[in-house]
Amino acid sequence: MRYGYFDDEKREYVITNPRTPVKWINYVGSLDFGGIVDHTGGSLICKGDPALNRITRYIHQLPDGEFKGETLYLRFKEGGGYRVFSPYYVPTLDPYDLYECHVGLGYTRIVSQFYGIRTEAAVFVPLGQSCEIRDIQISNVSPRPLEIDAVPVVEYSHPDALRQFDNADWVPQTMQSRAHREKSGMVILAQYPFMRKDTQINTFTSNLPVSSFETDRRRFLGKNGYGTWASPLSLQEEELGDYQALRGDNIAALLHHLGAIEPGQTIRLITQLGQDESVEASLPSIGRYRDAEQVEMAWEELAAYWDRYLSRLQVETPDSDMNRLLNIHNPRQCHTTMNWSRYLSLYQVGLGARGMGFRDSSQDVMGALASMPGESRRLIEMLLQVQKEDGSAMHQFNPLTMVANEGDSREVEEAPKYYSDDHLWMVLAVTAYLKETGDLPFLDLPVPYCDKDKSGHPLESGTVLDHMRRAIAFTRHDVGAHGLPLLGFADWNDTVNLRAGAESLFAANLYGKALLEMVELARFLGDQGAADRYAADYEVMKRRVDEHAWDGEWYVRYFDAEGVPLGSHSNEEGQIYANGQSWPIISGFAPHERAKAALEAVYRLLNTRLGIKLSTPGYDGFDPAKGGITTYPPGAKENGGVFLHANLWVIIAETILGNGARAFQYYSQINPAAKNDVIEQYECEPYVYPENILGDEHPQFGLARNSWLTGTASWAYQAATQYILGIRPAYEGLLIDPCIPAEWDGFRVRREFRNAVYQIHVKNPRHVSKGVRSVTLDGETLEGDVVPPLGDGATHRVEVTM
C-alpha cells in the first residue's frame, strides 16, 4: 500500500493519505528559527535552541490524531450550530474529498477539500527570518455562496521546554498573553513567560480583521477544559471570549469572519508566528508579511536558495531511485542534519538531553561541504570550542549557550567520562573541509579549548591545526593492554558500554584513518617531519591491529577490561559486528586477503534483503556489563538491527576493494525511495533515510524508525557521490575514481568545486567496475585522474573513460 508519490519535477513528495503509520514530517527554517511541521499541520517551532527557547507545544507522545502545536479550523453554519473542521485533517478527522500534503524543500503545502471548501496552506519560514508563515487560500468550490469563518490556533510551550513538562506549578503561573488591536481590525497576540516580558515575545497575527480571539486553552476548549481539540466548544459560539491570559496554558486563536464567499472565489489568509524582543521590534516583519506580494517574494527566495543549494551537485545515473535521492532528498537531509544534529525530530524530542552531538555534527559537516561550505566552517568552529585541552572532546553541547557536557556517560558514575571517537571525527571533518574549499588559512585560526576558569573564560586557545594534533595525541596515549585505544564510555556505538579498561577496534581504525589524513595534510603543507611522525604512529597501530584483532575469519570489535574479545566466533552473542569489518578497510590497516574475507563474512552473516545488520546474533537479555545494547530486544537498533549508518561504511569498503556490484546492491537495498511500495511494513517517510530498520531477528523485520536526524544522511551522500560515483575532493583537485556496477554504460555529474563548474561524463565502454583509463579536461588529456581546481567561475567539460 502507498501513502503518496514522488514528484521529482517539483522536488516534492506528495502524501495522499493522511493516515500514515507514523507522522511524516518536514523541516522549515533552520536552528536559528524553525522546526518541524508534520503532515497534518502540527508544528514544533523554536528559536536558536529547542530546549531553551521553544515556542510551540508539540507533545510527541500524544496519539497522531490529536492536536499538536498548531492547526487551523474552518467553520460554517449548519443546523442550529456550526460545522467545524480542520483542513489539515487533524484534529477534527472529518471525511475529506481531497487531501494532499506536499513535502517540499523548506516548505509543506497542504491541499485539501472538505464540504465544498478547498484549502491550500503553504507553511514556511522566509530565509533568515524569525517567523513561520502560513499562506492559506480558502476557495469555495461548491455551487452556492458559503459563509466561512477561519480560526488559526497555536499552543505555546514555556521556552524552557523541559520545565514545561516537569513543573506544572511555576510554568502556568508565569505564562501570559496580551492582545494588540489595530485600527485596521487586525490583532497581534503577544505571549511570553513573565521573566521575559521585556526581552522575548512570541507574536501571532494575520493579514485580515479579527472579530475576536482567545488566549487561554481552557476557555477555548470550553467547559473548564472538558471540551476537546476535535470539537472546541467555544467554536460553537458566534465569537471567542477576547480573554487575555494572566496565567495557565496559553494559546493564540484568531477568529476571522471571511464573509460570504461566492462559488469560485478565493480568500487569502496569511498567519505569522514569530518571536522578537518586543511587539514593537516585530512590527516591521509583521507588516511585511501581511503583504501577499512580500510573501510571494519570500517564497521565491526560498525556492532560489534551494535551486542554488542543489545545483552544486547533480547526477544522471542509470538508476532513477539513486538520481532522486542524490539530486533532491539526500542533500536536503544533509542540510537538515547540519542544522539540527540529533537535537529535534519526531524521535529526538529536543528537551536538552542531547543537544548538538560532537561526533554527529562532525560527520554531518562531511555530507554538506559541497553545498554549504560557509556553514560547515562555522559548525566546525563551534565543535572545536568544545574540545578539551587534553585533545578529547565533550560529547554534546547547547548551541544557544555553548554549554557542553559528557553525554550519557554522566548517568553511570564509575564510567569513563569521554568517548573514544568524538575528537577523531573532527580531524576527518576539518580535512574534508580543506579538500573541498582549499581554505588552508583556516588551519591557523585560533579557537579556544573548552576548559574554563572560575569566571567562565577559556583557559587556553590553539589554532585549528593544534586542535587536530591534540586529538591525535590523545588517542596515541590513551591505550589499553593490547596497545589499542581505550573505549572510554563508548565509541561510535553509543550502546556498548564496557567497564573501564576495555579497548575499541573502531577507535583504532578511526585513529588510523585520521592519521592517514594527517600524513596527507602534512605532506601537502610541506612538513615532511610531521608527515613521517604520523606515518610512524600509523604503522604502530596497524601492527597492533594486525597482531590482536584478527579472529580467523573476521575482525573482532572490542576487548573488554579482562582482555576477552567481543565480536568473535568465541562469543555466543554478538559474534560479528559490521563496523569491525568495514573500518579496517577504511583505515587501510587490513591486508588484502583479510579485507576480502571480512567483507565476505559481512555478506554471509550480516546482510539481509533489507540491509546489513550491525551485529549478530542479538544479545538476548539485559546485561549491565555490556550496557545499553542489551536493553534492546534482538534485532532492534544497535542490538542486531539494520543500522543504516553502518551500511554505508560497508559500501565504502566494498568500493575500496573494487566491488561495484556489491556496493550498489547494498546501496539500493536501503534506498528509502524504493520503500514507497512497502510502507505497511516500513512505516517511515520514504523521502529520507531512517537511522534503523528492525533486523531479521525481530518479528517486525523491516520496520523503520528514527528518520531524518542520522549520520546515515551524510554517509549515504558521501558513499554515493564520492565512492560509488567516485568524485572526491582532494587537496590537488577533484579526484575521479568511480566504482560502479559493471553493466552501467556510465553516468554524468555536474559538480561545482572551488569556483568552477565541472560537467563530468564518465563512460564505461569496457564494462568494468573500477579503474579510470583516461580523463580529458576541455578536450585536453590529463595526467592521472585529478581534475585541477580552475577557479575561474566558468564551466568545464570533463570526459572520463573507464
Let me know if 802 is exposed, middle or buried by CB neighbors in 10 A (0-12, 13-18, 19+).
buried
Neighbours of 570 (CB within 10 A): 12
Residue 342 contacts ligand GLC per CB under 6 A? yes
Q: Would you give the binding string for ligand GLC spanning residues 60-99, x where CB under 6 A is met? A: ----------------------------------------
Catalytic pick among 319, 360, 494, 560 = 494
Beta-bridge mates of residue 577: 615
CB-based contact 337:683 (threshold 8 Å): no
Could you tell me the smallest distance in angstroms from the CB atom of residue 110 to ligand GLC? 30
Q: How far is the CB of 796 from ligand GLC (least distance, A)?
A: 38
Q: Which is nearer to ligand GLC, 219 or 698 (CB)?
A: 698
Piece of the chain touching ligand GLC by CB under 6 A; list 310-318, 353-361, 525-533, 650-658: 353-361
Residue 63: C-alpha distances to residues 35, 91, 497 (Å): 20, 10, 34
Tell me if 631 contacts ligand GLC by CB under 6 A.
no
Phi and psi at residue 422, to the nearest 5°: -45, -60
Shortest Å distance, C-beta 715 to ligand GLC: 11
Q: Minimum Å distance from CB 495 to ligand GLC?
A: 6
417 CB-near residues (< 8 Å, 6+ apart): 406, 409, 410, 489
* Nearest-angstrom CA–CA distance, 491 and 355: 18
Question: Which residues within the stretch 633-692 sit at the binding site for ligand GLC (CB under 6 A)?
Answer: 638, 645, 691
* R_g of the chain, CA atoms, integer Å: 28
When binding is defined by CB under 6 A, the residue of 360, 408, 466, 697 that contacts ligand GLC is 360
697 binds ligand GLC (CB under 6 A): no
Q: What are phi and psi of 523, to 5 degrees?
A: -60, -45
Nearer to ligand GLC, 57 or 359 (CB): 359
The nearest distance, CB 705 to ligand GLC, in angstroms, is 11
The stretch among 409-417, 486-494, 518-526, 713-721 that binds ligand GLC (CB under 6 A) is 486-494
| 791 CB burial (10 A radius; 0-12, 13-18, 19+) | exposed
Task: Residue 612: name the closest of 673, 668, 556 by CA.
Answer: 668
CB of 398 to ligand GLC, least distance (A): 16
285 or 615: CB nearest ligand GLC: 615
CB of 583 to ligand GLC, least distance (A): 13
CA dist., res. 257 & res. 235, Å (int): 12
In angstroms, what CA-CA distances link 480 with 304, 390, 477, 514, 558?
A: 53, 18, 9, 19, 11
Smallest gap from residue 494 Cβ to ligand GLC (A): 4
Task: Measure the CA–CA gap between 151 and 128, rounded to whole angstroms.
Answer: 27
359 counts as binding ligand GLC under rule CB under 6 A: yes
Cβ distance to ligand GLC smaller for residue 330 or 710: 710
CB burial readout 590-613, b (16+ within 10 A) else e = beeebbebbbebbbebbbbebbbb
Choose the stretch contacting ligand GLC; rule: CB under 6 A; options: 489-497, 519-527, 650-658, 734-742: 489-497
Q: Judged by CB under 6 A, which of 35, 91, 357, 480 binds ligand GLC?
A: 357
Give 254's strand partners. 213
In angstroms, the Cα distances linking 300 to 75, 76, 308, 336 are: 31, 33, 12, 20
Cβ 421 to ligand GLC shortest distance, Å: 8
Burial class (CB in 10 A: 0-12, 13-18, 19+), 413: exposed
Residue (566 or 786) nearer to ligand GLC, CB: 566
| Of residues 285 and 712, the one with the C-beta less far from ligand GLC | 712
Interface region with ligand GLC, contact rule CB under 6 A, candidates 36-44, 208-216, 491-499, 511-519: 491-499
Residue pair 674/321 in contact (Cβ under 8 Å)? The answer is yes
DSSP letter for each residue of 111-160: EEEETTEEEEEEEE--TT-SEEEEEEEEEE-SSS-EEEEEEEEEEB--SS
Nearer to ligand GLC, 580 or 711 (CB): 711
> What track of x and - describes contact with ligand GLC for positions 495 through 514 (by CB under 6 A)?
x-------------------
- Please state the closest distance from residue 638 (CB atom) to ligand GLC, in A: 5
Chain centre to alpha carbon of residue 32:
15
Stretch that binds ligand GLC, among 148-156, 195-203, 490-498, 764-772 (CB under 6 A): 490-498
Q: Which is nearer to ligand GLC, 276 or 691 (CB)?
A: 691
Other C-beta atoms lying within 10 Å of the C-beta of residue 292: 13
Residue 494 binds ligand GLC, judged by CB under 6 A: yes
Give the contacts of 3 (CB within 8 A, at least 6 positions apart). 15, 16, 17, 19, 20, 24, 679
Q: Beta 704-707 vs 690-693: how paired, if at all?
A: antiparallel
At what angle are helices 578-586 and 505-524 packed, to 10 degrees?
A: 20
> Measured from the CB atom, is 124 or 492 closer to ligand GLC?
492
Active site residue 494: yes
Footprint of ligand GLC on 128-167 (CB under 6 A): none
Q: Does 120 bind ligand GLC (CB under 6 A)?
A: no
493 near ligand GLC, rule: CB under 6 A: yes
Q: Number of residues in contact with ligand GLC, rule: CB under 6 A?
A: 13
Ranked by CB distance to ligand GLC, the top (closest) residue is 494
Whether the Cβ atoms of residue 338 and residue 370 lie closer than 8 Å to each other:
no
Taking CB under 6 A as the rule, which mask of x and - marks residues 701-740 in contact with ligand GLC? Answer: ---------xx-----------------------------
Residue 174 to residues 170, 180, 696, Cα–Cα distance (Å): 6, 20, 50
Contact at 8 Å (CB) between 241 and 212? Answer: yes
Select 632 or 758, whichever has its Cβ closest to ligand GLC: 632
Residue with Cβ nearer ligand GLC (607 or 714): 714
**Is 492 among the residues that bind ligand GLC (CB under 6 A)?**
yes
Answer yes or no: are the C-beta atoms of 233 and 227 closer than 8 Å: yes
Q: How far is the CB of 490 from ligand GLC (least distance, A)?
A: 7
We find the least distance from the C-beta atom of residue 363 to ligand GLC, in angstroms, to be 8
* Binding flag, residue 422, ligand GLC (CB under 6 A): no
- CA–CA separation, 119 and 74 (whole Å): 10
Residue 250 vs 493, nearer CB to ligand GLC:
493
Residues with a known catalytic role: 494
Q: Site residues (CB under 6 A) for ligand GLC?
A: 342, 357, 359-360, 492-495, 638, 645, 691, 710-711
